[in-house]
Amino acid sequence: MKSLTDSVQVLAGVGPKRAQALQELGIQTIEDLITYYPFRYEDLAAKKPQEVADQQKVTFQGIVATAPTIVRFGRHKVRVNFRLLVENSSVMVTFFNQPWIKKQLEANQEVAIYGKWDANRQSLTGIKIITEEQGMEAVYPANKHIRQATIQQLVEAALNEYAEQVQDVIPEALIEKYRLMHRLAMIKALHFPGDEQITKQARRTAMFEEFLVFQMGLQVVKSRDRVEKGTKIDYQIQLVREFIQQLPFELTGAQKRVTNEILANLKSAWHMNRLLQGDVGSGKTVVAAIAMYATITSGHQAALMAPTEILAEQHANNLIKFFANFDVKIGLLVGGMRKKVRNELLEAVKAGEIDIVIGTHALIQDDVEFKNLGLAIIDEQHRFGVNQRQKLRQKGANPDILAMTATPIPRTLAITAYGDMDVSIIDQLPAGRKPVVTKWLKKGEWDKVLALMEHEFKKGRQAFVVAPLIEESEVMDLQNAMTLYEELKDFFGQRYAIGILHGKMDGAEKDQIMADFKAGKYAGLVSTTVIEVGVDVPNATLMVIQDADRFGLAQLHQLRGRIGRGQQQAYCLLVADPKNAVGKQRMQIMVETNNGFRIAEADLKMRGQGDLFGQQQSGVPEFKVGDPVVDLGALQTAQLEAAKIVNQPDWQSQPAFQNLAKYLNQVMQIEQGLD
């Protein structure tokens, strides 16, 4: 019997190699494939030059006025030039590094070219030749192993074979109430856009579906927490006090307040589900250490789950320092361990010989068993879904959950996005921590950037250099980073080593380079990827962000938080020539304040004006279609409707909600009763 949970390998043309490429995009099942929505649409309808704004992407249809010529420049680089007559305008068209274009075109041929328009030069940088008349084209987040067109072909094949299995998730009453589309029609409209209004309605439907399923998950968890007993942690207060007193620093007022909130939860018989928000460097780790130590004094174990191996190792090292004078046994469980070492650790955890287990997703694998798990801490909460929190909870007798995030979230959003959790906030930095000095420089002032790098390197300090992100093209991201890397290597020569970290590297390679940088092997590190949240390099005192206006405020704030972790003064240089007022405003806010909550509020306001940068770093769960910041109203509506459904007795067995219940169980990966 066919099911949307079938592997994509049932489709013709999907062998092991292509399945691997799809898996890298998060696509394993038919459901994953048909809900792998385009992230934007390109308007391919032909326009006239006078209708198009500078630097806009556009299709021009016209006559090739001059035969294409090839010009070679640089090392192994070519450009193809020709003139295109578009109505009464003559447009110079240039294709870079696509020599085959010359063979496809000849003088007097009619052709449609899609490219980027330079109004001042009346020239078009060609991207592709349009072969048939198209209105809108779906653009997918792709990778180097699989083409856009292939994704669309596979979606079409899946919909042809599985149309009957695509059932509405949103109850019929809500489809009518909010004028939404049925699921099959919505999915088709998103992947194969025709009418713009229908595509908009389809996006609205997909967004509501995602938000409703997400809020249903939260409401189900919350309703269960109201009736379920948790693990009561009868910690020994005197031992906890002794641990706090021997710390080499005084806790801030905010840390004390939050610690008391957590300790009260641990002591209670009810289940704790708390979100700990603290700005970058506000000292969440020590609060987590106190909570873990309290748990251990009552004879329970604690677990800490981090999103990446490098962060898990960092947590382990910090906790080893915190507990240096205490009899606390710490184990680190990560993906790449030797089987023998891993098995020995698992035995020790099962026997209760390990007090604190730190790890990545490896912690929620089926073979990990605890003797007596009392507290589970999840670092960088928004990287983990409800079902992963769920799996961690199932490792013990309903252990207390403390989720931590360094990404400040405005309270209105926190209440909606984390509707199942209580929220604690550390809004104070530790004493003696010098705020990072932020400066905004124009691109023409690059010599000042190099001078400050040299100045810091001479003092034995290190620098991060983040290359600009270009949304459309990972290839261009890499070129940008490589150019910057070569430029810095040339400038610093033999004096200082420069490293590079980019998205095409695998996890092990990235971890190795970060470890080398941390060990001081490189003075500077160029990166295309946003440097991992939480990565700690105390010796890094300089953060240079190229084309900083391409990043969102939350992202810029996260990047800045990577430095200034030692005693020395740290500097963040934003290098940007913003083209609009929003970009300038963003730079000014960064220069004026280091307060993450003020920045989050500003980000919320600015993104409400349609500024969609920094979506991935907003600290809010990530969705395929909706943005909880911009679409907060829709998220709140979904919360309201989800609460109404869950509060109905025995709602899962009502015919109106059966599809929703079934889909929710798939998403949460737990059995039908949602227990």
Name the residue ranges covered by the structural domains of the chain.
Answer: 44-128, 166-226+634-674, 235-424, 435-592
pLDDT for residue 477 = 54
Q: Helix %, strand %, coil % for the chain, to 5?
A: 45, 20, 35
What architecture is domain 44-128? Beta Barrel (2.40)
pLDDT beneath 50: ranges in the chain: 471-472, 608-619, 670-675
Q: Locate 646 and state its tokens.
A: 């869950």
- List the one residue out of 546, 524, 548, 557 whose CA is nearest residue 456: 524
Token duo for residue 634: 């829709």
Q: Which residues of 600-625 are buried (b: 16+ CB within 10 A; e: fewer)?
A: bbbbbebbeeebebbbebbbbbebeb
Structure tokens belonging to residue 525: 């590190």
What is the structure's pLDDT at 659? Answer: 92
Chain centroid to CA 292 = 28
CATH of 435-592, picked from 1.10.287.110, 3.40.50.300, 3.40.50.2000, 2.60.120.10, is 3.40.50.300
- Domains 44-128 and 435-592 belong to one CATH topology: no
pLDDT at res. 609: 36
Which CATH code of 3.10.290.10, 3.40.50.410, 1.10.10.10, 3.40.50.300 fits the domain covering 235-424? 3.40.50.300
Q: Could you tell me if 73 and 79 are in contact, meaning their C-beta atoms sit under 8 angstroms apart? A: yes
pLDDT at 82: 95
Question: What's the pLDDT at 472?
Answer: 45
Three-state DSSP state, 604: helix
